[in-house]
Each structure stands twice: as C-alpha cells, then as structure tokens.
Chain A
Amino acid sequence: DAKTTQPTSMDCAEGRAANLPCNHSTISGNEYVYWYRQIHSQGPQYIIHGLKNNETNEMASLIITEDRKSSTLILPHATLRDTAVYYCIVTKSSNTGKLIFGQGTTLQVKP
C-alpha cells in the first residue's frame, strides 16, 4: 500500500471550512484513498473514500488531484465536534481490507 504524508496538526475556526491535505505520491492505479477520523477515546469513524473522481457525502468532500498524488478532505462548516485526528489511508482494491494507519492530522476546531 502507498505511503501517505499528512501535517501533524491544524487549526480551524468554528463555522469555517477545514481543508486537510494528504500526499500519496506513490499511489498506484488500483488504490483507493480513504479518510477516517478518531475523536478522543473513541474508535475510528469512516468519513469518505474515492478512487479518481471527487466525492461528496453528508460529512465531507474529497478532492483528488488529476495525477492522484494528493488529496484534500474538506469539512465545509467545521464545528467543535469535528475536533479529532484525521487519517488518510491508501489501500489496494485487492487488499484484504486491512487499513494501515499513519500518524494522522490532529484538527483542532476553535470557537
């Protein structure tokens, strides 16, 4: 599975959009980009995933660059409850499904 690089931490003002970047320059054609988040002392929570096209759901939007070497998770209107560690994970379509977590980005949403 391709390695991902994320900033260690980010701040965001409440009500503003939070844009979390992820680099995955060694991604291969059959690898998906997944985003999970983990609120303090809870299990990770699935947010969104994509292959090539941009994706949107009720939680967030995922923007993947045309060369697929990086992506951005967008939380359109961050709230204090969005304070969490956000993990960007790249995994093969033929994978057994296991997720390889890195250190993630700690997002602090401030009032």
Chain B
Amino acid sequence: EAEVAQSPRYKITEKSQAVAFWCDPISGHATLYWYRQILGQGPELLVQFQDESVVDDSQLPKDRFSAERLKGVDSTLKIQPAELGDSAMYLCASRTHWGKVTDTQYFGPGTRLTVL
C-alpha cells in the first residue's frame, strides 16, 4: 500500500538554528498539506499545496517558516530560526485533489521536532 513518506522522523535542534523537513506524498496526489501538532492537541494546518502552488498558508508563521513544492511532487518545510515553541510533531498529508470532496487525506508518520 502506498504511503506518505517523511524524514527525518526525529530532529533535535538548538534555539536559533535552522531545520528542514521533507515529505514525499503518495504518487499522483496533487494536494499536499503540512500540519503541526503540539503535544496534547489536534493537528493544525500550516500550509496547503495544489501541485506546486500554495492554496492556503494563512496559519503559516511566515517570518520564520517557509514551504516549497517546486516540481509539484515532494515538499520541504523549513524553520529559521527555530524557537522553543516550535517543538511539535510536523505532519504531512496528501490526497488526490482537494476538489474531490469524498476523497480522503493520507498522513505520513510525522517528524518530531524538539528545540532546546
């Protein structure tokens, strides 16, 4: 069964350092999402791509976070500089196309970030 791949699975970094997370969606999935999940809470959408275009980045802290999906396939989420409050699980999800309402999102295993 096809899966969403994410790396690294775990990342420990110091405050003010730069970090990057990578996501490879299921083949053929045009829509890609990045979510952040703080311990004890549900995931919260950071950014959504349709192919290589950003559809929704209203919750992305743009002063320090950036996301790209240059060829409309895999994606990178970057934080620079990292802050203590960025410690969380970063989840990537994909689906065939956002307009297909009965389609479902498939999530990757996530990257657990710890900022010291």
A positions within 8 Å CB-CB of B: 32, 34, 41-46, 49, 87, 93-104
Within 8 A of A (CB), among B98-112: 98, 101-110, 112
Q: In the complex, are the beta carbons of A44 and B43 less than 8 A apart? A: yes
Q: Does B42 contact A (CB under 8 A)?
A: yes
Instruction: Answer whether residue B67 sits at the interface, using C-beta atoms and an 8 A cutoff.
Output: no
> Closest A-chain residue to B43, C-beta based?
A101
Q: A97 to B98, Cβ gap below 8 A? A: yes
B41 touches A99 (CB 8 A): no
**5 pairs of A and B residues whose beta carbons are closest in the complex:** A101-B42, A43-B107, A97-B98, A93-B101, A46-B104
Question: In the complex, which residue of chain B has the Cβ closest to the Cβ of A43?
Answer: B107
The A interface is mostly helix, strand or loop, or mixed, namely loop
- From known contacts A49-B102, A96-B56, A96-B98, infer whether A43 and B109 are also in contact, taking CB-CB under 8 Å: yes
**CB-contact partner of A97 in B91, B105, B108, B110, under 8 A:** B105
Residue B116, interface by CB 8 Å: no
B100 to chain A, nearest CB (A): 8
**Total A-B pairs, Cβ < 8 A:** 57
B82: CB under 8 A from chain A?
Answer: no
- Bound CA span A102–B109, Å: 19
Q: Tell me which residues across on chain B come within 8 A of A34, comparing CB atoms.
A: 104
> A7 to chain B: closest CB distance in Å?
15
Asked if B12 CB lies within 8 Å of chain A CBs, one says: no
Query: How far apart are the CA atoms of A45 and B93 in the complex, in Å?
Result: 10
Q: Which of B48, B98, B102, B107 contacts A44 (CB 8 A)?
A: B107
* Interchain CB contact under 8 A, A42 and B48: no
Contacts of B109 in A (CB 8 A): 42-43
30 A-B pairs (CB sep. < 8 Å): A32-B101, A32-B102, A34-B104, A41-B110, A41-B112, A42-B110, A43-B4, A43-B91, A43-B93, A44-B43, A44-B91, A44-B107, A46-B106, A87-B42, A93-B101, A95-B98, A96-B48, A96-B56, A96-B98, A97-B31, A97-B101, A97-B103, A98-B48, A98-B56, A101-B41, A101-B42, A101-B43, A102-B42, A103-B41, A103-B42
